[in-house]
Chain A
Amino acid sequence: MKYLKNFHKYRYLLYEIVRKNIKLQYRNSVLGVFWTFLQPLMTTIVLVIVFGGIFGADRNYTTCYPIYLLCGRLVYEFFTQATKRAMRSINLSASVIKKVYVPKYIYPLSNIIANFITFVISLLVLVCFIVYFYFFTETQPNITGYAFLAPVPILILLVLAIGVGMILSTLAVFFKDVEYLYEVFCMLVFYATPIFYHVDQLHLSPAVATVLKLNPLYSITEMFRCTVLYGRMFSMNHLLYALGFSVATLLIGFFVFYKKQDKFILHI
Chain B
Amino acid sequence: MGKPAIIVDNVSILFNMNKEKVDNLKEYFIKLITKKLHYNEFWALKDVSFTVEKGERVGVLGFNGAGKSTLLKTIAGVLKPTKGSVKSYGVIAPMLELGAGFDMNYSGRENIFLYGATMGYSRKFIQSKYDEIVEFSELGDFIDSPVKNYSSGMRARLGFAIATAVEPEILILDEVLSVGDAKFRMKSEAKIRSMFDKGITVLFVSHNTNQVLNICNKAIILDHGQIIAQGDAAEVCKKYNEMVNAKK
Contacts from A to B (Cβ < 8 Å): 9-10, 12-13, 15-17, 20, 23-24, 27, 95-102, 174-178, 181, 262, 265-267
Chain A interface mostly = helix
Contact B120 A96 (CB under 8 A): no
The 8 A CB mask of B15-30 against A (1 = contact, 0 = none) is 1100000011110100
Interface segment out of the listed B2-10, B93-101, B203-211, B222-230 = B93-101
Contact B123 A12 (CB under 8 A): yes
Q: 4 smallest A-B Cβ distances: which pairs? A: A101-B77, A16-B117, A99-B100, A13-B117
Interface segment out of the listed B47-55, B106-114, B177-185 = B106-114
Contact A12 B76 (CB under 8 A): no
CB distance from A61 to the nearest CB of B (A): 40
B46: CB under 8 A from chain A?
A: no
B119: CB under 8 A from chain A?
A: yes
Partner of B15, one of A16, A24, A176, A266: A266
Contact A101 B117 (CB under 8 A): no
Enumerate 7 A-B pairs (CB-CB under 8 Å) in ascending A order.
Answer: A10-B120, A15-B123, A96-B100, A100-B118, A100-B119, A101-B94, A265-B78
Partner of B25, one of A97, A177, A262, A265: A177
CB distance from A109 to the nearest CB of B (A): 14
CB distance from A146 to the nearest CB of B (A): 40
Chain B contacts with A in 160-215, Cβ cutoff 8 A: none
Contact B96 A176 (CB under 8 A): no
Contacts of B101 in A (CB 8 A): 95-96, 99-100
B243: CB under 8 A from chain A?
A: no
CB distance from B101 to the nearest CB of A (A): 5
B103: CB under 8 A from chain A?
A: yes
Given contact pairs A20-B103, A23-B110, A265-B78, enumerate 8 new A-B contacts (beta carbons under 8 Å): A16-B123, A27-B105, A95-B100, A98-B73, A99-B100, A101-B78, A175-B25, A266-B16
B79: CB under 8 A from chain A?
A: yes
Partner of B23, one of A15, A96, A176, A265: A176
Contacts of A20 in B (CB 8 A): 103, 106, 110, 114
Chain A residue with minimal CB distance to B92?
A101
Contact B114 A265 (CB under 8 A): no
Contacts of A16 in B (CB 8 A): 113-114, 117, 123
Contacts of A178 in B (CB 8 A): 25
CB distance from B209 to the nearest CB of A (A): 25
Given known contacts A175-B25, A176-B24, A266-B16, is B78 in contact with A100 (CB within 8 Å)? yes
Contacts of B79 in A (CB 8 A): 265
B89: CB under 8 A from chain A?
A: no
A16, A17, A175 — most chain B CB neighbours (10 Å): A16
Partner of A98, one of B24, B25, B78, B116: B78
Given known contacts A20-B110, A101-B78, A265-B78, is B118 in contact with A96 (CB within 8 Å)? yes
Partner of B120, one of A13, A99, A266, A267: A13
Contact A12 B16 (CB under 8 A): no
Q: Report how far A9 CA is from B122 CA in the complex, Å.
A: 9
Contacts of A99 in B (CB 8 A): 73, 76, 78, 94, 96-97, 100-101
The 8 A CB mask of B38-70 against A (1 = contact, 0 = none) is 000000000000000000000000000000000
Chain A residue with minimal CB distance to B113?
A16
